[in-house]
Structure 1
Amino acid sequence: MLSLKEKDRPIVRKLLCAGCCARCVLRFCCVGTSSAYRRSYQDLRKELLAFISEENSPQSHDASGEEKTVAPPNKRVRIDEDPVTPAQTDSDICPVCLGVLQDFCDPTFAKQVSDAVKKQQYEFDSLVLTVSLPAQMSVREHSCWLHVKKEVREKSMCLGKEDVIQVKDAFKWAVQGKIGQELGAAVVANSPCEVSVGFIHPETEEDCHFLANTCPGCFKPTKNKASIFTRMAVVKALEKISEEKFSRHYPCPPKKANTRCTALDTTCLHTSIFIAGRYNKFSRELPQTPWVIDGERRMHGSVEELIAAPLLSSFRADGFNFSSSGREDVDVRTLGNGRPFAVELLNPHRAKFNRTEIKQLQEKINQSSDKIRVRDLQIVTREATSHMKEGEEKKTKTYSALIWTQKAIDITDLEFLANIKDLRIAQKTPLRVLHRRPLAVRQTHPLHEHHLPEQTPLHHKAVHTGRHLH
């Protein structure tokens, strides 16, 4: 039974007479029990009609079956004196939800959504259901609220706009359990896997046009939006417009709609997965990222492509973003413990891997090429990648270089280098990056009291901090 009280009877009658659907009636009666919205539409409507047709006997019952003592005659709801009957038939479109809570809350639509998700071949244990609605639904909701508000005010009651159950919530309560059951997954409030259901309506601009005239500051054209009547803009305008002005420009209750909402294609999106590790580069002909100059690619392959290709395949991701703690020139090898890197995998269709599978994935990358090798491969959080970028400027790297000179170097030359106290190096923009950087001379920070370690005459080390060579 529905948890309706005697005080709800005039509201139910008023809403049904306005053509509202059964679930919208429950919303404006502030019925917050999810099981009520999961019931079939026919059963709900039948029970609501029976509820308003009950006689005003001294011992009246509410919709929950409890006995209620009716107020004295002078305060009774005058239902039997109101000749108006509910206006909606089974084929009519609800003027508030525009059919969303009529036509899309049954098992057939839930299965349609589930089948669309299955076709996209995602692997998940839980999901969050998101819903997008036409912007003018907020206008119609506001109109209906003002219509009901007048009724409850006359009965010395109060109905806040925030007390009304939202269409999105009512829709979710009605279908998410069926969708979860079809997919074998829990539908929760927060999940990395998002299933989106959207609705559109052809009369959006017609319903919202008056708001653009009364609150022009709320509607500004944007490059990414096809229409100025976005949901946020409409909500902002409704907050500014007075009830009196709204009622002058828009009917209360809302007028009947000519067409129903249409459901958009169901879409799925999984939050990014981050894979981190360290890489060694053994080739002097391999850039870190694809090397493209004036639209022409130079050299074949790159470090990021060799690492990302097996990851994309295994996680079945739509794309990736590669980042690392600094970078090396194309002809410079990366030895030692390797350079830290992270790969953001966009919209992965598979997200869960155990340690053994990650180790196998690391071996797959290493076996795919002799130009690179990765180690310490692991799944990390987004926050962990920020620590890697911090280390790019703070940690010290050591570089080795082989030097040829026109004359032989003796011990006196090495003593001269060791005695340098403040060393500055001025570097012109390298030729290889002139196509994307201005020609300039950049100086490093001075190096104080630094003594080069003893080396053989042809082999010296330079210390590199961040991007400054000392």
Structure 2
Amino acid sequence: RMQGERVRAADVDATAAPYQTVLECENAMGSETTQSDCAARESCPLCMGLLEGAINSAHVGELVRHVKEAGYESESFCLAVTLPATLLLRQRAAWLYARSVAFETGTAPPCPYESIVDLKDSVRWLFSSRLQSPLSMRYEVMASLQLQISVHASNGAMSTELAVLEPLSHTLGVSGPTPGWRGTYKRKRGYSEPNGGDAVARAGNDGGDEGGTGAGAKGNSSCACTVGVSTASSAGKEDAEGLTSIRGVLRALADPKIDELLRSSALYPPRRRAEGFTISLQLEHAPLYLTGRYTKHSRQLPQTAWVIDGVRKCDSSVQELIEPAALRLFRADAAKFHSAGREDVDVRMLGEGRPFVLELVGPRRAADSENRHICMQLETEVCKCNLVAVTNVRRCEASLVSGLLKQGEDAHRKDYRAVVRLSSDFSQEELDRLLTFPVTLAQQTPLRVLHRRTLMCRPRTVHSIRATRIAKRFIVLDLTTQAGTYVKEFVHGDLGRTCPSIGSMLNCEADILQLDVTNVHSAT
């Protein structure tokens, strides 16, 4: 490890590389260990016995069992690894010591510190190579299914090593270590799943002195581990800003004084410890996004649950008629509903429907080309309610959610059909002459939504108007308007807050009886 150059995971033998790095770092500190007696030697002062003891076929088998029991269907997986933050200090101290020995003996110095292969990368390579075959999944850096492997040091002497950073706390403006803290070494935080499955393995013995015999009796396996089920929170927490966090340790390692502090500490060179570890596995699948269009055929159905002052106004909603079937079919934990605007509870959504995106959290089934029948089954089950129908359901990217919100912007258009009652009767010729278009409206925030909308004047454009006389004083209006137009207020005028209106254009009172959305134009 002291001599190795940083390489990509795809370019190394993931099984051999971690052991090679351990052997090289021990040889740099004067050890005569060879690879043949790797399993029987005392624990490495850098990995603390983690590589040779905690990652073995028995533990891999337990982790595979937990992954399979979670029921995730995926063709690939990625790994995120966290290690105790103190291992960074040990790595730096070992490099300093190896450089000093090379200078004194006249041998080749170690590679630059920035080129050292991270222990975290070695753990990831080792795990990925041993998990692929039993999981029947390939390892991919950007896979949707993430296995979060966390290694936490037990509350022993190892956690006190971070006290060497205490003199830098004032310089860096962060707090020092706190008693009983269990730091973890992780550069980037991955997904978090409060309800995810966790497999936990405990390795080694608790306690130990400065020159301990490693994580097990000499002559036996370096680490004795058992795997059980626990929660991720029980394995320890990370102080996000203090010197005990990975961020704090990395900032300390960039300080010019760190080398002097390490040379005067007990970590120069790092000693072996019989320190216990807790290894936990947390599973999370990236959210699955489904897109499609829905139509609504009821005038007593809101888009989402309608609750006022804690009282529910309608029995169901469009969202609540779509989500349960999707959660069941894709075995997801939760769902979030996104749509291109919304219609009022008494307005039907007809035509091709309104675009929507359903975000499924923690799905255990994918919506790839091989599972197209699941999307078709979702369409069939939703249509059974006879209130809502969904069509063209398919997988989409997360970026579509932000694009979907733009469907309600000013540049887009929507088509409406309204049944209107007039206080005066008009012939078809009079309607065609009086109702001209396009027309620009000045719409004050309607009275009916003033309690939840900002009071302001909104300019809106009605691109086309076609009035059809169906009976004495009754007409059907077909409108194409700019998105965001309050169509009901355009008809009756909202006590003069919308100008002009159908009523003012015809110089009579107009009242809207029914309203349907007939089309939502997609962005071009």
Q: Which of the five TM-score ranges fits, normalised by the shorter chain?
A: 0.7 to 0.9
The change in CA–CA distance for 1:379 and 1:33 in structure 2 (over 3 A counts) is closer
For 1:109 and 1:419, locate their aligned partners in 2 and report how far apart those are by CA, in whole Å: 73
Q: Is there any run of 5+ residues in structure 2 with no aligned partner, and where?
A: 6-11, 177-191, 193-236, 491-524
The structure richer in strand per residue is 2
Task: Calculate the TM-score normalised by the size of structure 1.
Answer: 0.75
Query: Aligned runs of 1:17-166 on 2, under 5 Å?
Result: 27-30=1-4, 34-37=14-17, 92-154=42-104, 155=106, 157-159=108-110, 160-166=112-118
What is aligned with 1:3?
Answer: none
- What's the counterpart of residue 376 of structure 1? 392
The match for 1:424 is 442
Partner of 1:58: none
Aligned to 1:331, the other structure's residue is in SS state: coil
Shift of 1:344: 1.2
Equivalent position to 1:248, from 264, 272, 294: 264
The answer as to 2:453 corresponding to 1:453 is no
SS in 2 for 1:404: strand
Q: In structure 2, give the amino acid aligned to 1:178.
A: R
Identity of aligned residues (%): 25
Closer, same or farther: CA 262–468 of 1 in aligned 2, 3 Å? same
Q: Distance in 1 between matches of 2:250 and 2:54?
A: 24
Q: 1:199 touches 1:263 (CA, 8 Å); kept in 2?
A: yes
**TM-align CA RMSD:** 3.6
Report what 2:331 is aligned to.
316
With over 3 angstroms needed to count, the CA separation of the structure-2 counterparts of 1:298 and 1:136, relative to structure 1, is farther
1:357 Cα deviation after fit: 3.7
Q: Relative to structure 1, is the Cα distance of residues 359 and 52 closer, same or farther in structure 2, using a 3 angstrom cutoff? A: closer
Q: Structure 1: how far apart are the matches of 2:339 and 2:57?
A: 48
Partner of 1:443: 457
Tell me how far apart the structure 2 counterparts of residues 145 and 262 of structure 1 sit (CA, whole Å).
Answer: 26
Number of the residue aligned with 2:381: 364
Q: Is the 8 A contact 2:80 2:147 kept in 1?
A: yes
**Aligned-residue offset at 1:446:** 5.2
> CA shift at 1:374, angstroms?
1.0
Matched AA of 2:337: F
Structure 1: runs of 5+ lacking an equivalent: 1-26, 55-62, 65-85
* Residue matched to 2:348: 333
Structure 1 residues 214-250: Cα deviation after superposition (integer angstroms, max 9, x where no partner)? 14436369xx965232212211221124322443355
* Residues 1:169 and 1:185: Cα distance change in structure 2 (over 3 Å): same
CA separation of 1:447/1:172 partners in 2, compared to 1, >3 Å: closer, same or farther? closer
Q: Which residue of 1 aligns with 2:277?
A: 261
Contact 1:143 1:250 in 2 (8 A): no
- Determine if contact 1:106/1:175 at 8 Å carries over to the other structure: no
Among 299, 317, 321, which residue is 2:314 paired with? 299
What is aligned with 2:185? none
Which residue of structure 2 lines up, in the alignment, with residue 7 of structure 1? Answer: none
Per-residue CA deviation, residues 233-269 of structure 1 (Å, 9 max, x unaligned), is: 21122112432244335531134445222112x1211
Does the CA contact (< 8 Å) of 1:218 and 1:237 recur in 2? no
Q: Deviations over 1:161-203 (max 9, x none)?
A: 1332221222233333222222122223332211121111125
For residue 346 of structure 1, what is the aligned residue in structure 2? 361
Aligned residue number for residue 211 of structure 1: 165
C-alpha distance in 1 between matches for 2:118 and 2:461: 65
The answer to which of 276-285 and 206-215 deviates more is: 206-215
1:7-39 deviation digits (Å, cap 9, x = unpaired) = xxxxxxxxxxxxxxxxxxxx2242865443577
Partners of 1:35 and 1:374 in 2: how far apart? 49
Going from structure 1 to structure 2, the CA distance change for 1:294 and 1:137 (only over 3 Å counts) comes to farther
Distance of 2:140 and 2:430 partners within structure 1: 74
- Superposed counterparts of 1:388-403, under 5 Å: 388-393=404-409, 394-403=411-420
2:254 to 222, 225, 239: 239
Q: Are the structure 2 counterparts of residues 96 and 385 from structure 1 closer, same or farther at C-alpha, using a change threshold of 3 Å? A: same
Q: What are the superposed Cα offsets for residues 271-290 of structure 1, whole Å, 9 maximum, x if unpaired?
A: 22211111101111111112
TM-score scaled by structure 2?
0.68
Cα distance change, pair 38–140 in 1 and its aligned pair in 2 (3 A): closer
Distance 2:342 2:55 in 1: 54
Aligned residues between the structures? 402
Q: Please identify, of 375-384 and 202-211, the stretch whose mean Cα deviation from structure 2 is larger.
A: 202-211
| Match of residue 281, structure 1, among 296, 321, 324 | 296
- 1:338 and 1:234, CA in 2 relative to 1: closer, same or farther beyond 3 A? same
Amino acid at match of 1:309: P
* 1:188 aligned partner: 140
Comparing both structures, which one devotes a greater share of its residues to helix?
1
Q: Which amino acid aligns with 1:30?
A: G
The alpha carbon displacement at 1:414 in A equals 6.6
Q: Equivalents in 1 of 2:403, 2:438: separation in Å?
A: 34
Q: Is the 8 A contact 2:151 2:278 kept in 1?
A: yes
Is the CA contact (8 Å cut-off) linking 2:98 and 2:109 kept in structure 1?
Answer: no
- The residue identity in structure 2 corresponding to 1:362 is E
Q: What is the identity, as a one-letter code, of the residue corresponding to 1:390?
A: K
Q: Which residue is 1:74 aligned to?
A: none
CA distance in 2, matches of 1:427, 1:454: 26
User: What SS is found at the alignment partner of 2:71?
Assistant: coil
Q: 1:126 to 1:452 in 2, by over 3 A?
A: closer
What is the Cα deviation at residue 91 of structure 1? 8.0
